[in-house]
Amino acid sequence: MSYFRAENLSLHFGGLKAVDSVSFAVEKGEILSIIGPNGAGKSSIFNLISRIYPPTSGKIYFEDQDITGQPSYEIAGLGIARTFQNIELFENATMLSNLLVGRHRHSTTQLWQELLFLPSVRANEKAHRRRVEQVIEFLDLEVYRDKLISGLPYGVRKVIELARALCSEPKLILLDEPSSGLNVEETDDMSFWIRDMKTELGITVLMVEHDMTLVNRVSDRVIALNYGRVLAMGSPAEVQRHPDVIAAYLGA
C-alpha cells in the first residue's frame, strides 16, 4: 500500500475535463513533481486533494484511509499542508501571527480557557512559539518576525507561506509552484529547503512546478500531465525523454 494514493480522480466543469481519471501514488519520504503545460490540471489536482473542490469521481487515500469525503479543514488536520500558487497569506498580520495560525491544528485549548488566558493556554502559546521559531530558523526568516505581510516582497512571502505550511508539522506537503516569481538565487534556496524538508524533517513532498532545473534537482519521480490526463511517470530524465511529453510541450 502506498503512503498517498489518488485513484481515477476526475474533476469536470460541465463538459471541460480539468482532471480526467488521474491515478498516482506517492511513497513515504519521496519528492514527487507534477509537470505539464498551462491548463493541464496540475493545480486542480491540488485543489481536489485539499478539498477546495469536491472531485467529480475518484478516491483519495492517505495512510490507507479514504479521505475523499473529508471536509477541507480535516485534511489539514490529518497532516496534509499546502501552499498556494498565488500566495494566500493573512495580509494584515505580522509574519509571526501568520505562522502561529499554521499551528492551529495542534491547538488543544477550549474557548473558556482562552477567555481567561489560563496558565495552560499560556504554556501552549509558548510551546507553539517554540515550534514556530524552529521553522523560522530553518528558513532564515528571523528579520521578518514582526513585519506586516502587506509590506513584504513577493519572494519573501513565498517563503513565509512555505513556513506557515511547515509550522503545522505536516506529514505530506503540497507545494503549488514553489519557485514561481522567485529569482535565480531564491529558487536555489528553495531547492535546498525542499531537499532539507525531505531529509531533515522527513516530510513527503508533492509539488507542481514549471522550472525544470528545480524539478530535476529535487524530484525523485515526476508525473507529466496534459489535458487532465497522465502522459508519463518516472524519473525526471525518463519523463523528459518521453515522446508524448516532448509532443505536449513542443507541439510536435
Partner 1 sequence: MRFLFKTDYEDDIRLFPHSGYFVSYGVLLALLVIAPFVLSSYIVSQLVFVCIYATVGVGLMILTGFTGQASLGHAAFLAIGAYTAAYLQQFDVPFPVYFLAAGLLTGLVGALVGFPALRLQGIYLVIATISFAFIVEEVLARWESVTHGNEGMRVKTMSLFGTMVPRDGPVFYFLCLSVLILTIVGTLNLLRSPTGRAFVAIRDSETAARSMGINVSLYKVKSFAISAGITGLAGVLFAHKLSFISPEMFTLQLSIEFIIVILIGGTFSLHGAVLGAIFLVMIDPFLTYLKDDMPGVIAGLAATFGAGKATADGIQSSVAAFASANGLKGAIYGVIIVLFVLFEPLGLYGRWLKIKLFFQLFPLYKRATFKRQKIYVKSERNR
Per CB under 8 A, residues contacting partner 1 are 47, 50, 52, 71-77, 81-82, 84-93, 96-97, 100-105, 107, 109, 111, 114-117, 121-122, 125-126, 129-130, 150, 164, 168
For β-strands 221-226 and 229-234, DSSP reports them as antiparallel
CB 207 within 8 A of CB 194: yes
Min CB(229)–partner 1 separation in Å: 23
Of the pair 28, 145, the CB lying nearest partner 1 is at 145
Of the pair 75, 230, the CB lying nearest partner 1 is at 75
Min CB(109)–partner 1 separation in Å: 6
Min CB(154)–partner 1 separation in Å: 8
CA–CA dist 123, 137 (Å, integer): 21
Of the pair 83, 240, the CB lying nearest partner 1 is at 83
Min CB(61)–partner 1 separation in Å: 19
Total Cβ atoms within 10 A of residue 250: 7
Residue 107: is it exposed, middle or buried by C-beta count within 10 angstroms (0-12/13-18/19+)?
middle
Of the pair 42, 82, the CB lying nearest partner 1 is at 82
Of the pair 53, 249, the CB lying nearest partner 1 is at 53
